[in-house]
Amino acid sequence: MVEHAAKLGLAAAFLAAVTATSGASAAATPRNVPCGLFESGAQLYFHHCGTTTVVLSVDRTPPSPDSRLCVQPGAVVELGNRDDVVRVAYLGTDCASAGRRP
């Protein structure tokens, strides 16, 4: 569980850095929803505060399937139960590589 928490912490720091350098204005971000990776109850979410669409890879514990998500600017996506999500990684901005378009 400590390794799991460390991986999520690193992913959160990385995703926060990606969103912080994107140039999004604070005025466009809802006050009660932080940018990047965050938890609410038992669920894990990602709020994309950047200005470009991004692709995220979400690795989960079996039997839950891994996924790639195309996330539009301003979107808040539910990644799943925090105990099932092992790793979240930024893959770039090419949504065609995610297998689906925004």
CB 46 within 8 A of CB 71: yes
pLDDT string in tens for the chain (102-residue length): 444 444 455 444 444 444 443 333 333 445 688 999 999 999 999 999 999 999 999 999 999 999 999 999 999 999 999 999 999 999 999 888 666 544
Assessment of whether the complete model's pTM goes beyond 0.75: no
Q: Which pair of tokens denotes residue 15?
A: 């995703």
- Helix H segments across the chain? 2-20
Residue labelled with tokens 């995220």: 56
**Any idea what the Cα angle at residue 8 is, between residues 70 and 17, rounded to 5°?**
65
